[in-house]
């Protein structure tokens, strides 16, 4: 495992990336591609501090990509995320306390539609690590996190920020289509 795959520690002033951001950023035909790409590039640039995700989120992301885009695209996505030196991956399976708390949270909120077990692990990790922002399109997280960024992110950016992100995205081979104002 890469050295940057780690167990829990405090990560104040940081962000945590959820499945939908990774998938939308990579899948150009996804309706959330613009916001997903902009959020991901902003995170990698360090605009939100250190960048985290979890092994459970990666499992969900790679499975979704394989189902919707095919095996070879899923492998390319996996390699690009795992190969990034900017994203630290938290190993949930080595954190018995976090796993137990996630299971308790899952039971407690079993009536919340769309709140998966992976979502519960994300919430618990965010609390334990004092994550400042969750990058996700899943509005179901809103009651559980201090700051949720994802859908509509492009609307929050200044012209200067859009230009910076657009140039970096272009250098990475990402084509962004901003809606006309």
Kindly state whether residue 180 falls inside one of the protein's structural domains.
no
pLDDT of residue 170: 82
Q: What is the pLDDT of residue 173?
A: 74
The verdict on residue 105 lying in a domain is yes
The domain of 11 spans 5-171
The pLDDT of 17-29, averaged and rounded, is 94
User: Which DSSP symbol is given to 95?
Assistant: -
Residue 16 in any domain: the answer is yes
Q: Is the pLDDT of residue 34 over 80?
A: yes
Task: Tell me the C-alpha distance between 58 and 5, whole Å.
Answer: 12
In a domain, 122, yes or no: yes
In a domain, 179, yes or no: no
CA 88 to the chain's CA centroid? 11
What is the CA 98 to chain-centroid distance, rounded?
Answer: 19
Q: Contact, 81 vs 58, CB < 8 A?
A: yes
Predicted TM-score (pTM) of this structure: 0.88
Mean pLDDT of the chain: 87
* 144-177 tens-digit pLDDT: 888 899 999 999 999 999 889 988 888 877 778 8
Q: Give CA separation, 72 vs 18, 65, 162, 175, 179, in Å.
A: 21, 9, 31, 21, 30
H or E element: which one contains 6?
strand 5-6
Q: 92 or 36, which is more confident? A: 36
Q: Among residues 45, 35, 33, which one has the least CA distance to residue 149?
A: 35
Does any domain span residue 58?
yes
For residue 5, the cross-strand partners are 89
- 15 alpha carbon, distance to own chain's centre: 8
Structural domain contains residue 137: yes
Q: How many distinct structural domains can be found in the chain?
A: 1
Q: Is residue 4 within 8 Å of residue 131, measured between CB atoms?
A: no
Residue of 136, 115, 151, 120 whose CA lies nearest to 17? 136
CB hemisphere CA count around 135 (13 angstroms): 33
- Residue 66, domain member (yes or no): yes
Q: What's the CATH number where 86 sits?
A: 3.40.50.1010
Distance CA 70, CA 134 (A): 27
């Amino acid at each position: 495992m890469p050295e940057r795959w780690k167990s829990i520690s405090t990560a104040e002033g940081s962000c945590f990336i959820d499945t939908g951001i990774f998938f939308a950023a990579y899948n150009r035909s996804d309706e959330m591609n613009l916001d997903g790409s902009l959020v991901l590039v902003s995170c990698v640039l360090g605009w939100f501090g250190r960048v985290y995700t979890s092994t459970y989120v990666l499992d969900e992301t790679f499975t979704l990509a394989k189902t919707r885009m095919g095996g070879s695209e899923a492998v390319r996505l996996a390699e690009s995320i795992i190969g990034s030196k900017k994203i630290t991956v938290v190993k949930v399976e080595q954190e018995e306390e976090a796993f137990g708390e996630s299971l308790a949270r899952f039971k407690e909120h079993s009536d919340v539609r769309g709140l998966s077990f992976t979502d519960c692990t994300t919430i618990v990790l965010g609390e334990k690590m004092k994550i400042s922002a969750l990058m996700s399109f899943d509005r179901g997280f809103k009651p559980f996190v201090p700051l949720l960024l994802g859908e509509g992110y492009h609307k929050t950016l200044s012209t200067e920020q859009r230009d910076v992100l657009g140039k970096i995205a272009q250098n990475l081979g990402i084509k962004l289509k901003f809606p006309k104002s």
